[in-house]
Structure 1
């Protein structure tokens, strides 16, 4: 368990419960205050086992001056440091340089409110976990809420719209549309599949940016109704654009057009017998309980669920061009039904 430990569960071998090889396989446990670290070394019990078969607790080099938690983070820290050293070496051979002062460490815990003491040493610089880190233009946070990313993206788009508004009197509607789509809408679409599954309140600032962009194109007041403008511009709302990108990736993964790691995340629904449902081109929906607290936002969970909600004509599209057309039509009907 990473972080400070006040109580824990310790397993001990049950007397007399042994296999043919003499190594105990049945255990009893007790919970309570953290015992002395030296008592957590069950090495003698597993003396006859091979090194690669030993339990993790036997391989941590626990001692009275190095507790269990420090041993875990020490191993992780050393592995990350070695990885950074290898990357730096590779970059040096290719006439590049890894800047330690600009290297960020982002720790994403498996459970909420988990404290950690993870630090990584790299070229005499001690890296400590930060709350956010920027990668390929996307700001990641240690809770994967993307609230910081949405905030920065909103601020950037608002600045661009303000500058375009200054020259709007000198632009035609067509020129304004091209300018807004290339500078603002493209930012909203960049890596937007990472926002799939987030609450609507998180992505609402991005929708407000799109609404402002549509009003700017038509040069209409602030509180003008925006739905007819989006339909006229043929712009899907932000939530629909996120779903569109996710389903495009699902189509590519299902039909062998995506990288192998992505194709492994989706699986066509199989049936034991030839039934009418076997021709519906549906995807298997995995169990949520086996994927942890962020399971509802996983691509392997969201993509099959959204895919199975598509009409049959879209799921059975013969090419990606046909799928794009049918998908966009379906999303317009779902998100802008009155138009």
Structure 2
């Protein structure tokens, strides 16, 4: 009865918005917990595209331009990080991040890396904002970290995470120029 675009709008309004709400708090959660949320997203994609239960879901998510839940969480965390580093987020978040500056001249001094603090407990400490954010940020390609605007970052970050999903990041950056907003 519904057109594809109307059905997608309904799914975004009722399901995707709930999956994304405060999902930055899920950073560092166990794969088992993330998988439960991924099953919800997969079911929504199957309903929307009328895909059979046993068909592989990755091509469907790719066609819909939906990031898997793990990457959606990373996207949100990295978006908050960019805002914190550029004065667009609350001050208390910016204070949790420290830029890497070596005591002597090194090639890495202008890389835009953040200091990853030492943690005593790998379970709870590994989920903290001050530990997880620098770890994710430092693993980004410099072409993503060097975005001039929030719009550029969103575009480059989505491309980067989509390519990571398909293990094609290196190939993509070597063969295609980045397209921004």
TM-score range, shorter chain: 0.7 to 0.9
For residues 200 and 240 of structure 1, the distance between their equivalents in structure 2, rounded to whole angstroms, comes to 12
Match of residue 85, structure 2, among 238, 254, 257: 254
How far apart are 1:266 and its partner, in Å? 0.7
1:237-270 CA-to-partner distances (Å, cap 9, x unmatched) read 0010001111111111112211111111111111
- Segments of 5+ residues of structure 2 without an aligned counterpart are 170-181
Q: Does structure 2 retain, via aligned residues, the 8 Å contact 1:215–1:224?
A: no
1:179 aligns to 2:10 (yes or no):
yes
SS at structure 2 position matched to 1:230: helix
Q: Deviations over 1:176-214 (max 9, x none)?
A: 111111111111000001111001101211100100111
Distance 2:123 2:147 in 1: 34
Q: Are the structure 2 counterparts of residues 337 and 173 from structure 1 closer, same or farther at C-alpha, using a change threshold of 3 Å?
A: farther
Distance in 2 separating the partners of 1:338 and 1:270 = 31
State the Cα distance separating 1:297 from its structure 2 match: 0.3
Name the structure, 1 or 2, with higher relative contact order (CA <8 Å, separation 6+): 2
Inter-CA distance 185–293: structure 2 relative to 1 (3 Å threshold): closer
Match of 1:326 in 2: 156
In the alignment, structure 1 residue 218 sits paired with structure 2 residue 56: no
**TM-score where L is the length of structure 1:** 0.48
Matching of residue 238 in structure 1 with residue 74 in structure 2: no
Higher helix residue share: 2
1:1-339 correspondence to structure 2 within 5 Å: 170-289=1-120, 294-337=124-167
Greater strand content: 1
**Bigger Rg over Cα:** 1
List structure 1 runs of 4+ shifted beyond 6 angstroms.
none
8 Å contact kept, 1:254–1:268: no
Deviation sequence 1:1-35 (CA, Å, 0-9, x none): xxxxxxxxxxxxxxxxxxxxxxxxxxxxxxxxxxx
> How many residue pairs were aligned?
169
Give yes or no for contact 1:193–1:245 (8 Å, CA) kept in 2: yes
What SS does the corresponding residue of 2:97 show, helix, strand or coil?
coil
State the distance in 1 between where 2:55 and 2:25 align.
30
Distance 2:168 2:156 in 1: 18
Distance 1:292 1:221, change over 3 A: closer
Q: CA contact under 8 A between 1:254 and 1:267: conserved in structure 2?
A: no
TM superposition score normalised by structure 2:
0.88
Cα distance in structure 2, aligned partners of 1:332 and 1:292: 28
